[in-house]
Amino acid sequence: MTDPVPPPVDTASSRRTRHIGLLIFDDVEELDAVGPWEVLSYWTLHHPEDGWTVSCVSRDGRPVRAAKGLTLGAHHSFETMPPLDVLIHPGGQGTRRLMRDPDHLAWVRGQRGSVRLVTSVCTGALVYAAAGLLTGRPATTHWESLDLVTQLDPSIVLRPDARFVDDGDVITSAGVSAGIDMALHLVARLAGTERAREVRRAIQYDPQPPV
C-alpha cells in the first residue's frame, strides 16, 4: 500500500514558474528517466496554467549514454539549471558509481538543502541512502537492491512491496516502470487527483500484465 495523496499545492496563486529537474547520467536506466518524463512533460506542456515546467539536467549539460545504449539529451547543466522545486534522481547501473562519488553526493546534499521535494526511481535510492537523505525514513527501491540499501544505512525502513513511498518531502519508487506511478502521484500532489487521472488517460497507462 502507498500513503494517501496529500492535498494539491496551490500553484494558481504563485506567479513564479516552478521547476522539476530530471537528472540524467551515463548508464541511467532508460525507463527510469523516460517514464517520468512522459508523464511530467505531457502535464506541463498541456497545462501551463498549473505553473510548472520540467527539464533534463546532466552534470555538464551534455548528452549521456543510457544503460542500453540510448542517447539522452540535457536541457541544462548543474550550473545553468534554474532553481529546482522538485528533483528526480533515476536509477540504473550508473548509480553504483554515483553512490561512491563524493562530489555527486555533495551535490545531492546541496540540492536537498534547497529543493523542497526530492524523489528517486529504482536505484536512485542508493544515492540518496549514501548521501544520508533516507536515514530513519521509509523508502523503497528495485527489489534486487533492497539488501544494498540496508548495507548503506540500516536505519532505513524498507517497504519492499510498495510501488512508491511518499514520506512528505522525500518520495522513493521501486524499479524501472514504478517511476511512472511515482510521477503520476507527483502530478496528483502538485496539481490534484483529477489532473493526474487526465494525464494517465492521455498516455494510456493502464497496466494489465499479459503474463
> 159-182: per-residue pLDDT in tens?
999 999 999 999 999 999 999 999
Average pLDDT value over all residues in the chain = 94
Q: What pLDDT digit, counting tens, does each position of 40-92 carry?
A: 999 999 999 999 999 999 999 999 999 999 999 999 999 999 999 999 999 99
- With a cut of 70, say whether residue 187 has pLDDT above it: yes
* pLDDT the model gives residue 208: 84
- Domains of the chain, by residue range, sit at 23-200
> What's the pLDDT at 11?
41
The grid coordinates listed for 32 are 527510469
CATH hierarchy code of domain 23-200: 3.40.50.880
* Nine-digit cell string for 163: 510501488
Give the C-alpha separation, 165 to 172, whole Å. Answer: 5
- pLDDT exceeds cutoff 70 at 2: no
- Taking 80 as the threshold, does the pLDDT of residue 5 lie above it? no
| DSSP letter (8 states) at residue 75 | S
Cβ 19 vs Cβ 55: under 8 Å: yes
122 flagged as catalytic: yes
CA 199, 91, 187 angle in degrees (round to 5)?
20
Residue 14: Cβ within 10 Å count: 10
d(CA 36, CA 199): 12
Q: Which residues contact 139 (CB under 8 A, 6 or more apart)?
A: 125, 128, 129, 149, 156, 157, 158, 159, 165, 167, 170, 172
Note the pLDDT of residue 21. 98
- Classify 100 as helix, strand or coil: coil
Predicted confidence at residue 10, as pLDDT, reads 45
Entry pTM? 0.92
Residue 154 has pLDDT above 50, yes or no: yes
Here the cell at position 44 is 506541463
pLDDT at 9 over 90: no
- 164 by DSSP, 3-state: which? strand
Q: How far apart are CA 178 and CA 20, in angstroms?
A: 18
pLDDT of residue 169: 98
**Per-residue DSSP letter, 161:** T
pLDDT given at position 15 = 62
Of residues 81, 117, 118, 122, which has the active-site annotation?
Answer: 122
- The answer to whether 173 and 120 are in contact (CB under 8 A) is yes
Helix (H, G, I), strand (E, B) or coil at 61: coil
> Percent of the chain, pLDDT > 90?
90
pLDDT of the residue at 1: 39
For residue 100, count other CB atoms closer than 10 A to its CB: 12
Per-residue pLDDT of 84-119, as tens digits, reads 999 999 999 999 999 999 999 999 999 999 999 999
Give dist(CA 62, CA 47) in Å, integer.
28
The helix (run of H) or strand (run of E) holding residue 72 is: strand 71-72
Nearest to 125 by CA among 102, 103, 92: 92
